[in-house]
């Protein structure tokens, strides 16, 4: 007689197969996570920092206008009008920096 009339898997086989597949899927998920972390870095910013600025620092609007004028990105008339607009929008205590 073949297989003594038994053609299925036992409880131990089902448990072993479940553990095998769960382990394999966990390993695959971990590999994708590890590759993703390597590709984008552990603390990747949501958007890149602007060129010429240090990551994590914030520039005021006046600092940005000053930098753009210093690098020649804007002309003197534009610089003066932008600074005048910024100075008029500031509260009185901040104007004396």
Nearest to 86 by CA among 57, 55, 65, 56: 65
In a domain, 88, yes or no: yes
In a domain, 65, yes or no: yes
Q: In the predicted model, is pLDDT for residue 1 greater than 50?
A: no
Residues spanned by the domain of 79 = 61-96
> In this predicted model, what pLDDT tens digit does every residue of 85-94 receive, in sequence order?
988 877 666 5
> In this predicted model, what pLDDT tens digit does every residue of 49-74 receive, in sequence order?
666 555 556 788 889 999 999 999 99
In a domain, 50, yes or no: no
In a domain, 39, yes or no: no
Give the chain's domain count. 1
In a domain, 86, yes or no: yes
Element holding 78 (H helix, E strand): helix 76-89
């Amino acid at each position: 007689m073949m297989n003594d009339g038994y053609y299925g898997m036992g409880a131990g086989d089902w448990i072993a197969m479940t553990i095998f597949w769960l382990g394999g899927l966990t390993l695959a998920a971990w590999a994708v996570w590890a590759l993703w972390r390597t590709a984008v870095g552990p603390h990747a910013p949501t958007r890149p920092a602007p060129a010429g600025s240090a990551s994590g620092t914030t520039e005021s609007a006046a600092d940005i206008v000053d930098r753009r004028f210093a690098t020649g990105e804007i002309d003197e008339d534009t610089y003066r009008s932008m600074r005048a607009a910024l100075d008029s929008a500031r509260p009185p205590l901040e104007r004396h920096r």
